Structure 1
Amino acid sequence: MPRATKPDDEAPDRPRGPEDTPAAVALAGVARREIGHDNDTASHARTATAATTATAKVAAVTAQPAGATSPLGTPDQLAAEKLAKRVVNTLPVALVKLALRAGFLSAAKQQFDKVGGPDQGNLDRLDAAVNAYAMASAFQQQLLNSAEPTVVMQVAPPHTWSDQPGEAVPASRILYDNPDTIYRFMGVNGASKYVITGRFADPAHVPADTTFSVLTGLTGDTAAVLTKDNFTVNPDGTFTVTADSTPANGRVNHLQLPADATLIATRNTLSDWGTEVPMSLDITRVGGPPNSLFSQLGGFAIPRIGPAVVRNPVLTKLVSLIPPLPSVPPVLRGAVTAVIMALGIQREATYIAVATTDPATGQRQEPNVLRNPTRNAEFLATQLQSAGYFQLADDQALVLTINPDGAGYFVVPVTDDWTVTKDYWNEQTSLNISQATPNGDGTYTIVVSPTDPGVANWVSTGGLHQGTLSIRFQVLQDGTSPTVRSQLVTLGELGDVLPPDTTYVSAADRAAQLAARKNGFDNRFAPYPQP
């Protein structure tokens, strides 16, 4: 189904495929379940056409040359970025930014009370965190007309594209973004059927982990996950995923959409930045009610109302009677984005608490203490996380001893008090299992510090003396139980606590390490290098 590359607000957002009427966007969620059948004869015709389109997409993906350019810079992505940049400059977004900033600051003062609240280094990054949340929300409002789904990369760093070298796309990083992960999202509802197609350009070097998650409601809790170990890929790297309200019943690569489903989130976790490349991805709606004003304005996302419509064929047909608007003014998009942003005030407080509060006791924990990994469905139900926060002077270091215990992937990323990463492409503010050097016994010792200690396994705080950590473990085996131990020391004491086989680096070694890191990051947006 062709889509516009320039969705101006004076024209329809995207040209119509034969299965849908004009579109626009808005709100924050989608719905669940039943009605895998179509509503009328015209719907059957739309479904047949869309199914043919989905099959054609698989063939087109197969024909693409491997490794030519980044699979992320699609026409849909470029269009979404252009529109998001317009939306964040509207008055409703500007006004809610003020509330968001106050909310973020209030949450941080409460959650970091044991260290006197956020320090100046974090206060200096507050506006950037708010701007990133606004940008993410501007993407979110585009996703949620689930009758016209698109694949949109967000929770992303600032970047540029080769065909738009002068147009930097602002960051949309939020809520413990992972430097290794490419996040893409698709709006769905349980009254519709979808086919997702894609391709791994180099089947010999696929990402360390790939997941397709069904997220529910406005909180984004995980309802179902298709993981790498139960995901079927063709020999040429292509794949097809289906999604609807019905169970898999033996079908491979199928996701069941519950009644409060809102999004399908895909994650490509790149462990080796030099060889692993994100998959190409596309989505087609192949069945369900016609596009409508209800869907266009995010009706399937509204708590209780959306799921009720999905569950009731009569209501589904009723809300489908009013066609969508031919276009949505920027100020209306901004108003919807502002609503999504307002939800972020509580979300930010919740996520900061992941680092500062012991879930077992509900009490605030001390800095520089990392708990053993546990599951948290709000992140990803199939991974484990060890969270905490640090408070370090220039001459101090937090020494982490990590036992993956068979986990195929882990990462140690530094985030600020607002749970956002910084410049991880030019600075070594994260290390994963492929980038770090193991100890002789299979464990890993990582040194987190503001000052470079000359250790290969150094995670820089990026100039911060206070911030958060969320260590992730993925590609887990049955019985896998990773552990994390932390120890606060001075730089002068490192020699006494580091393993005897620790690898040290010279200034030239560090420069080479950072150069390789930057080159690997640039591959994500190839062929254009990033600033």
Structure 2
Amino acid sequence: MPNPIANPDQLAAEADVRAMRADPRGNPIRAQIAKYFEIGYGSRLPDEMRPMLGDLADEFLTNWFFKGAASDSQHPRLVRNFMPAHEWHGTSVPGARTGGDNPDNCYRLAGIAHGTRYRLSGRTNGKRAANISFTLTNNFGTSQTVALLEDHDLVWEDDGSFVIEIDERPGDGRRNHLQTQEGNRFLFVRDSMMDWEAESPLDLTIERIGPAQAPPITLDEMFARATRHALRDVFQYFWFQNMLSSIAVNSILPALPLASTGVGMATQGTSSGHFRIGPDEAVILTWDPAGARYAAVELTDWLYRSLDYQRIQSSLTAAQASVDSDGYIRTVIARRDPGVWNWLDTSGYENVLMILRWQAMQPEGRAIFASATQTTIDALRGQLPAGTRWVNAGERAAQLARRVAAYQRRITSA
């Protein structure tokens, strides 16, 4: 079936991003972003991460170039962001990973303005993602959520389609509706996929209702918006990273529903961790999928960017993992292959961060839970359950080949 991301708006936005990246005015801004992070981390920055500051700044700024390309609220277009670098349609798409980006998500953005009406039309494209959220955000950093809809809240037509109205009016009983507020910047869509081999992002289109209040923004304005907001938001993203790197080394935070914190999606829960792992060491991470429609774990580098999940197993969803007889999932974080199906590969890094996510948690589900135990690779057989799924070299190669092929579905046209 056609890839819903392979559309003229996306390809045009990617061309705009390539043009902005080639603009020499971006070079001192990249350098400034790298310097901000370097000064902020100071002596806490692991030696293995210091050479990566330039890459961090480059992907960070590229992420904001994508946001600039998506920011025209009077001529909206949906633009995929937060991807690792890849090739498709004969062109190179630069990496834009930052802020604990989720390997399982298809992230899309479209410019939204208070006082303008929009119609978002969607349709399933094969098997739909385990959880889909539509949020209105008030900043380029996409962290200030002011309105939220999830797929299970929508009224769907029998043919798998729906329409969401976006405007400043109260809902007045309209379930497929998002109400804008002053300062709205983006519609932010996340398709969270548990099964990479079968689930696909929605086929989405967005249109403004009524006359445009301004002509289309120019490439120069996209660049100006992107760079202005990137320099502002770097401090917030530094703060996000510090929430994890300030966790005591080799420990995790308790699994917590975000509803109890007053921020984020009320149906989401998280646990985070910070690990320093020697060449022969391992961490057994035990967690309960808890009946959530979407549950997954990922590792990031110490700078809070996803690892190269398109080639290594640095993340696992509940659908990809082997589940033990007690309903728990036990994953092993290690720098080299421990021979366990549920290996989380650190890509050789000694220092990594971890994020567990539960989305669309069910009232009848068990309480979310996670724990971590330090050990060594040699001691794993005596510490993991008898039913643990072990793999040899050939089985690992086949597992990774399936993962790579499943990821390739995202960057093909059919």
1:328 paired to 2:218 = yes
Question: For the residues of structure 1 that align with 2:311 and 2:302, how far apart are their CA atoms?
Answer: 20
CA distance in 2, matches of 1:425, 1:210: 21
TM-score by length of 2: 0.94
In the TM superposition, residue 258 of structure 1 has moved relative to its aligned partner by 1.9
Aligned to 2:157: 234
Match of residue 87 from structure 1: 20
1:438 to 292, 298, 323: 323
1:193 is matched with 117
Distance in 1 (alpha carbons) for counterparts of 2:358 and 2:305: 19
Pick from 333, 357, 371 the counterpart of residue 253 of structure 2. 371
Amino acid at match of 1:371: L
Matched, 1:520 2:406: yes
Match of 2:98 in 1: 174
Matched, 1:452 2:376: no
Displacement of 1:371: 1.1
Tell me, yes or no, if structure 1 residue 355 matches structure 2 residue 251: no
1:399-447 CA distance string (max 9 Å, x none): 1110232222211111112211132121111111000011111011010
Q: Distance in 2 between matches of 1:227 and 1:345?
A: 29
1:247 matched to 2:170: yes
Q: Deviations over 1:495-529 (max 9, x none)?
A: 2221121110011110110011011111112248x
Verify the 8 A CA contact 2:82 2:98 in the aligned structure 1: yes
What SS class does the counterpart of residue 107 from structure 2 fall into? strand
Deviates more, 1:241-250 or 1:507-516: 241-250
Change in 2 beyond 3 A, CA 1:188/1:509: same
CA distance in 1, matches of 2:250, 2:364: 28
Between the aligned partners of 2:403 and 2:219, the Cα distance in structure 1 is 41
Corresponding letter in the other structure for 2:9: D
Map 1:24-39 → 2, pairs under 5 A: none
1 or 2 for the larger relative contact order (CA 8 Å, sep ≥6)? 1
Larger radius of gyration: 1
How much has 1:80 moved relative to structure 2? 0.4
Assess if the C-alpha contact under 8 Å between 2:31 and 2:54 holds in 1: no
Distance in 2 (alpha carbons) for counterparts of 1:516 and 1:398 = 25
Written as runs of structure 1 = structure 2, the 5 A alignment for 1:123-522 is: 123-161=50-88, 164-165=89-90, 167-202=91-126, 205-219=127-141, 220-287=143-210, 290-292=212-214, 324=215, 328=218, 330=220, 333-357=222-246, 365-374=247-256, 375=258, 380=265, 382-478=267-363, 481-522=367-408
Deviation at residue 232 of structure 1 after TM alignment:
2.1
Residues 28-48 of structure 1, C-alpha deviations (whole Å, 9 max, x = no match): xxxxxxxxxxxxxxxxxxxxx
More strand by share: 2
1:470 is paired with a residue of what secondary structure? strand
Aligned-partner Cα distance in 2 for 1:462–1:77: 30
Residues 109, 469 of structure 1: alpha-carbon distance in 2 compared, 3 angstrom cutoff: farther
Q: Is the 8 A contact 1:148 1:291 kept in 2?
A: no
Query: Could you tell me how far apart the structure 2 residues matched to 1:521 and 1:408 are?
Result: 20
- Alpha-carbon deviations, 1:85-142, whole Å to 9, x = none? 11122233211111100112233336xx3xxx3232x223322221111111111122
8 A Cα contact 2:16 2:219, kept in partner: no
Q: Aligned Cα RMSD in Å?
A: 1.9
- Give the CA deviation at 1:381: 5.1
1:311-364 CA distance string (max 9 Å, x none) = xxxxxxxxxxxxx4x76354x54333221220232022111122123xxxxxxx
Q: Secondary structure at the match of 1:249?
A: coil
CA contact (8 A) 1:108 1:352 kept: no
2: CA distance, partners of 1:174 / 1:137: 10
Q: In the TM superposition, what are the counterparts of 1:47-58 in structure 2 within 5 Å? A: none
How far did 1:209 drift? 0.7
- Runs of 4+ residues over 4 Å off in structure 1: 376-381
Structure 1 contact 92–335 (Cα < 8 Å) conserved: no
Q: Distance in 2 between matches of 1:351 and 1:473?
A: 19
Contact 1:244 1:257 in 2 (8 A): yes
Question: TM-score of the superposition, structure 1-length normalised?
Answer: 0.74
What percent of counterpart residues are identical? 28
Output one character per residue of 1:284-333: Cα deviation in whole Å (capped at 9) or x when no partner: 1114x7423xxxxxxxxxxxxxxxxxxxxxxxxxxxxxxx4x76354x54
Matched residue SS, 1:281: strand
The answer to whether the Cα contact below 8 Å between 1:109 and 1:118 also exists between their aligned partners in 2 is no
Shift of 1:186: 1.1
Q: 1:344 to 1:378 in 2, by over 3 A?
A: farther
**How far is 1:477 from its partner?**
1.5
Q: How many Å separate the matches in 2 of 1:232 and 1:378?
A: 26
CA distance 1:430–1:235, change in 2 (3 Å) = same
Please state how far the C-alpha of 1:478 moved relative to its aligned partner: 2.6
- Aligned AA for 1:88? R
Report the secondary structure of 1:454's partner residue: coil
**Is the 2:245–2:302 contact (alpha carbons within 8 Å) kept by the matching residues of 1?**
no
Q: Hey, what's the Cα distance between the residues in 1 that align with 2:332 and 2:219?
A: 50
Secondary structure, aligned partner of 2:378: helix
